[in-house]
Amino acid sequence: MPITTIATSNPLLQPWNSPFGLPPFEAVQAGHFEPAFDEALKQHRAEVDAIGAGPQPPNFENTIAALDRSGRLLHRLENLFYNLASSETSPVLQAAEMRLAPVLAAHRSAISMHQALFARIDALYRERDALVLSPEQRRVLERFHLGFVRAGAKLGAAEQTRYAQIMGRLAELTTQFGQNVLADESGFRLVLRGEADGAGLPEFVRAATKQAALDRGITDGLLVTLSRSHIVPFLTFSERRDLREQAWRAWTTRGEHAGAHDNRPIAREILALRNEQARLHGYASYADYALSDTMAGRQDAVTALLTQVWEPAKARAAEELEALQALALSRGEAALLEPWDWRYYAERVRQVRYELDEAVVKPYFPLTRMVEALFDCAQRLFGVRFVARPELRAYHPDVKIYEVRAADDSAVGVFLHDNFARATKRSGAWMSSFRRQSRNLGAGGDERALPIVINNNNFAKGAPGEPTLLSFDEATTLFHEFGHGLHGLLSDVTYESVSGTSVLRDFVELPSQIFEHWLAEPEVLKRHARHYLTDEPIPDALIGKLHDARLFNQGYETVRYTASALVDMAAHALTDAAAPDVVEFERAELARIGAPAVVGMNHRLTHFQHLFSGSGYAAGYYVYLWAEVLDADGYDAFREAGSPFDPAVARRLREFIYSTGNSIEPAAAYRAFRGRGPTVEPMLRQRGLVPQAQ
């Protein structure tokens, strides 16, 4: 009788023989992860020890390429685990996530502070000018060296011990922060019963909230959850001001309630620990530390960009507020508008000014058609096809899987699309990977790992048999995340450490934001925006109205975004060892910069997951605006060429933006695509913050 071991009984430790190397979703249980991680951590540490103790002098292959190849079992487990924790979590998985957070952080610290390994990396780095390396190899060497230094490799022994403690505690806190936000979101229910509660809601909102109610066992009403796809339409259309206020307060106070899910002390401790982390590296603040490895480089560069839009945006928002107040007064309604009133009156003004009704627009944007639009644009630009594989099953029935193939029918990768909100899924929209592209699977670097990429959205699902209809903003989000997805799928590098979206934070939003532009192209709209009942293409008059209205409410949207970015930067620029109460700090900072209270901000600190569910966007929320400078300027290349699908421009876009990962310094990559550096005017024009050309 064969002996059963953990390696043979745990599906995570067996070969993943599913098609394309997909994770064995159906066989995996939450309890499999911790023992699998135990084994993966041991394997990775043994691999790193072997590299560090190598008998031969260090060279690129036996040190850097070997390090890039190491930990493959650990990486695939982490990719699966964190994707499930975000997209289909459970109490058991959340408990495992909390237990594993400090363990994995301790492992990362141990690797980064491995003296023998870093000695070899450092020796190669110091000799890099004399080594015979390809441009990509040199970039990989430099990035590995910088990553180790930024993780504490050059600190003294006592400082390294403290540094590891900080990183372990941060891992616990950021995990708890995200779980607290999800708990507040999944715990809120605004049940609408009777016509009075649903006054003003168009049919598409009623259908979505009816389905949400049925999904949660409520048969006698409509349900508004804290999913953005519920909250925003409700605030836009509900005539019940009292219910709008209730929904708005629940949405904006996530993470700000005393009890088990209170994020106020957690965010405060995170800020204090990040400040200590930065000081150990010799920086005055965490913002200085974080920005030192970005395109911006310094706080003053970020501040200059944000300031360039802040005052014009406030001025535009003030003009918009006047129009909203005038409409409210003309209707004999509230003279003093509150934050929960803005979207409601903005929609009324938009209907009057542009004769543009969301209830008329959405039928032309069924989700299925918009997904077809994504795939069609990708094929016309980059020659890739998305082939549905309905026989393949993922972790949830909502998830659709596609095989991605090149123009010559060679395999490019696998794409998973998870588009609907549910209680087990965190809010927002994001791209992730189950496997990143590389060609460094073995010595010699000629065996390719195909990428497995996933897009997550949180759209409100239509009723059974009915389509999911998107607003134009939601369709833009769909295109945005698909741009990230293409960044992962089209990656064409040798080394996994610089693959796909592994780029500087203020460059990573360029591939996503530039892809949004194709949605607004009339030829794309005429081809794919078709009425879900009649199959009639969207009328030219409606396209014209969408374009005429594209700058409407941009003051409001820009103030909300920029206020969030400014508060983020201010919080992470603090230099005192003790962090302040984050709610009081936020209030004081908004007052200092003159933020209009009626507008608010995209994310308050107590639920700002970009900042506190991980460190990726900490002191980095500005990156969307930074990348918008690049995407607005970059898309002008297609306009200058006379076609949104110009082959030569598309070829450069793929070669230098979507395919290079972090193998090329980002400013150099942009110049190679555009032929020059970016200019800021197209971004300002795009947001309506400069006079429009006549």
Residues acting as catalytic residues: 481
CA distance 605 to 582: 7
SS3 310: helix
Neighbours of 682 (CB within 10 A): 20
CA distance 223 to 249: 16
In this structure, are residues 438 and 136 in contact, taking their beta carbons and an 8 Å threshold? Answer: no
Place of tokens 């009788």: 1
Contacts of 333 (CB under 8 A, 6+ apart): none
| Terminal Cα distance for the chain, rounded | 83
Tell the burial category of 236 from Cβ atoms under 10 Å away from its Cβ (0-12, 13-18, 19+): buried
Region for 357 from its dihedrals, namely left if φ exceeds 0, alpha if ψ lies in -120 to 50, beta otherwise: beta
Tell the burial category of 565 from Cβ atoms under 10 Å away from its Cβ (0-12, 13-18, 19+): buried
* C-alpha triplet 634, 638, 639: angle, nearest 5°: 105
CA distance 599 to 632: 25
Q: 190-192 and 385-388: which strand pairing? A: unpaired
CA distance 185 to 214: 18
Place of tokens 């194709």: 518
Task: Give the distance, in angstroms, between the CA of residue 152 and the centroid of all CA atoms in the same chain.
Answer: 27
CA distance 531 to 88: 32
Closest by CA to 61, choosing from 146, 124, 17, is: 124
